[in-house]
Chain A
Amino acid sequence: MSVDVKKIVLEIIEDVAPDEDLGGLNPAESLRDQLDLDSMDFLDIVMELRKRHKVEVPSEDYPRLATLDSCVEYLSPKFA
């Protein structure tokens, strides 16, 4: 059974940045350009992935979390 990685990421963003509106997010566009997320928020996304799903993202891979699509592409194998 495949895990809905997109849903997982969105749930985390919702908790990390509760005041952001996640409706109408373009999955191919940079999250930073669409939402008010800074490096501290990205750290939290990574920390929540580890805490909730035991998924590790080394710091050199942070750029791969740039868009919702790239998150799915990068994280899916880790959830498999």
Chain B
Amino acid sequence: MSYDAIIIGAGMSGLAAGIRLAMYGKKVVVLEKHTISGGLNSYYQRRIPSTKEIFQFDVGLHALTNFAKKGEKRKPLTKLLRQLRIGYDELELCEQTFSQIHFKSAKLNFSNDFELLQSEVKSIFPEEFDNFQKLYQYILEFNEVNLNADYLSAKKVLESYIATPLLREMLIAPLLIYGSAWENDMDFSQFVIMFKALYLEGFSRPRGGVRTILSLLENKFKEVGGELRYRSSVESIEYNESGVSGVVLKNGEKLESKKVFSSAGLPETMDMCQKDKRSIIGKLSFTETILVFDKKIKHSENEPTIIFYNDSDQYNYQRAQNFYDASSAVICFPDNYESQNKDGHGVARLTFMAHFDQWNNLEKPDYLTKKNEVLSESKRILKNLNVEQSEIYSDVFTPTTIKRYTNHFDGTVYGSTTKYRDGQTKIDGLYIIGTDQGFLGIVGSMLSGISISNLYGLME
């Protein structure tokens, strides 16, 4: 079979790229290893033994960042919906209530209205308020999409504006854990992108979770004539001096194309080309605990959507020293979005930083024991936050689970520390989209698929 373009991976970026190319008459196939789409942002279902009910759980998506109101100008979300010809209302977005950065000595709330964060800084760090406003002005004027900018340490820039270490740590923590492939610091332009995505634009969630987005993308891709193949694992990418010639699937089938867009990740893509990969594998992987309660969660004070929890005043964003690091967590309460159903079961999800190799070396019985340990640590943290309810179901996934379903080496979630911002590899016709192209978050990954396929698939 011969195609105008082959896309590896039916995640957010692969499907978005596929839609763009097929929409303008290209013959496109998207190859997905798994039996469903989504990649790092997918879902699974389990039957709850006690009630026989079937539950569907989102994987990845805690929140869709970059919230924009309908028709709001110059926003990433507005741009991507336009490019994909998907109507704003089809996403059925529910806004967050508010979220909280919860450190040992202070808490800061923020919402989709930036004024909340400003007033929180003013009341909790009054001596820093003017500095914070200056930083905000600098961020507004900064050109974060300049692809030729040199690396600038976000922590250094923060230090030049804000004197109190606690406030600096609190501000950067959510931005790191929502997308940084680098440990403990990030490039300032990434910081600005994330600052806007989280603090200026904010969080929302489609009413039906990640499945709403995926089915919109799948349906649109089919509508414009694209071909989507599941259980189609790519064994190798074929190329010679003149560039890419196609891919060979695990079952031996050969597909021809002069253009391959890979969302598999940079080291994973290099591996398909039989090139060296070890040096560029990222270090950050996670465990996630999912808890289902018999009824909606009662919070002692209001109802936060997401809590960025840290049990000290210094934030360590790095690969866990041991199996997992329970000194910090991201805790998502998916019920606490506006106009979500207020009856029925309650759900909480807790993410810890983890260490792939340690999990990978465990034998099955020890693996299960460790998973139980993560579960009790998760419950301990919820108890600290005064969330104590009867649970009817729980599950934990680990870095090895992520590896199994996404094929990301070492279960990395934010990919390699090497990003190919312009999407181009050294092999002609082979392009990188998704996490390792370098746009962050779900909105970022879709924009990545769109811009790289526009550039190399349509503008010839």
Chain A interfacial positions (CB closer than 8 Å to B): 15-19, 36, 38, 40-41, 43-44, 47, 50-51, 59
B44-95 interface with A by 8 A CB criterion: 70-71, 73-74, 78-79, 82-83, 85, 87-88
Contact (Cβ within 8 A) A40 B459: no
B82: A residues at CB distance < 8 A: 16-19, 40-41, 44
Q: How far is the CA of A7 from the CA of B87 in the complex (A)?
A: 23
Besides A19-B82, A41-B82, A59-B459, 11 other A-B contacts (C-beta < 8 A): A17-B82, A18-B87, A19-B78, A19-B88, A36-B78, A38-B74, A40-B82, A40-B83, A43-B458, A44-B83, A47-B24
> Could you show 14 A-B contacts with beta carbons less than 8 Å apart?
A18-B82, A18-B87, A19-B71, A19-B82, A36-B73, A36-B74, A38-B74, A40-B83, A40-B450, A40-B454, A43-B459, A44-B83, A47-B24, A47-B458
* Contact count A vs B, C-beta below 8 Å: 33
Partner of B79, one of A15, A18, A40: A40
B13-37 interface with A by 8 A CB criterion: 24-25
Contact (Cβ within 8 A) A40 B458: no
B451 at the interface (CB under 8 A from A): yes
B451: A residues at CB distance < 8 A: 40
Q: How far is the CA of A44 from the CA of B73 in the complex (A)?
A: 18
Chain B interfacial positions (CB closer than 8 Å to A): 24-25, 70-71, 73-74, 78-79, 82-83, 85, 87-88, 450-451, 454, 458-459
Contact (Cβ within 8 A) A51 B24: yes
A50: B residues at CB distance < 8 A: 24
B74: A residues at CB distance < 8 A: 36, 38
Q: How far is the CA of A38 from the CA of B78 in the complex (A)?
A: 12
A15: B residues at CB distance < 8 A: 85
A16: B residues at CB distance < 8 A: 82
Closest to B450 in A: A40
| Nearest CB of chain A from residue B27's CB, rounded to whole Å | 15
Q: How far is the CA of A44 from the CA of B450 in the complex (A)?
A: 12
Contact (Cβ within 8 A) A43 B25: no
A41: B residues at CB distance < 8 A: 82
Closest to B71 in A: A19
| Nearest CB of chain A from residue B79's CB, rounded to whole Å | 6
A40: B residues at CB distance < 8 A: 79, 82-83, 450-451, 454
Q: How far is the CA of A51 from the CA of B459 in the complex (A)?
A: 14
Q: How far is the CA of A41 from the CA of B85 in the complex (A)?
A: 11
Closest to B73 in A: A36
Closest to A19 in B: B71
Closest to A16 in B: B82
Partner of A43, one of B71, B78, B454: B454
| Nearest CB of chain A from residue B8's CB, rounded to whole Å | 23
Q: How far is the CA of A18 from the CA of B71 in the complex (A)?
A: 9
A38: B residues at CB distance < 8 A: 74, 79
| Nearest CB of chain A from residue B306's CB, rounded to whole Å | 29
A59: B residues at CB distance < 8 A: 459
A19: B residues at CB distance < 8 A: 70-71, 78, 82, 88
